[in-house]
Structure 1
Amino acid sequence: MAKVRSMFREVLLKQGQLSVEDVTTMVMCKPKLLPLKSLTLAKLENMQQAAQDTVRQQEMAEKENGK
């Protein structure tokens, strides 16, 4: 089996204290693409647009019948 060489070397203390430092660093990851509009919001907007169109058509029909 091939021996893998690491960039870290193991150090075993014979006496004294062992301390560990954790340094938080930024980690780059793939961007997550989120939809600009949720599916529910798009459906609600379509329903609202359809209702507005229906009201406009009814108003135009009333104007034509009123003349």
Structure 2
Amino acid sequence: MSEGVKSVFQKVLPKLGQLFVEDVDKLKLVPLKSLTLEKLEKMQQTVQETIHTHKMAEKEQHQTNQ
């Protein structure tokens, strides 16, 4: 509004009631997975792949021996 125009609305503060003010800290980005969890999952996947390859090799060796 310009300085020469008077506002139609008046500011009203209640005489009774409570005023709430909340200070909000800056939002922090949280990683979806921690580095430790990612390392553990990678290790687990490697172990699963190793077990699978050993089972397949054992199965092939067993079939060739028969």
Match of 2:19 among 2, 14, 23: 23
Local SS of the residue matching 2:28: coil
> What's the C-alpha RMSD, in Å, of the aligned pairs?
1.9
Q: Which residue of 2 aligns with 1:35?
A: 31
Corresponding residue pairs, total: 46
> TM-score, normalized by length of structure 1?
0.58
* Larger proportion of helix: 2
Deviation at 1:28, TM superposition (A): 4.8
Deviations 1:11-49 (A, max 9, x none): xxxxxxxxxxx8332345542111000010000000000
4+ residue segments displaced more than 6 Å = none
Match of 2:45 among 24, 34, 49: 49
Q: Which residue of 2 aligns with 1:63?
A: 59
Distance in structure 2 (CA, Å) of the matches to 1:24 and 1:55? 60
Gaps of 5+ in 2: 1-17
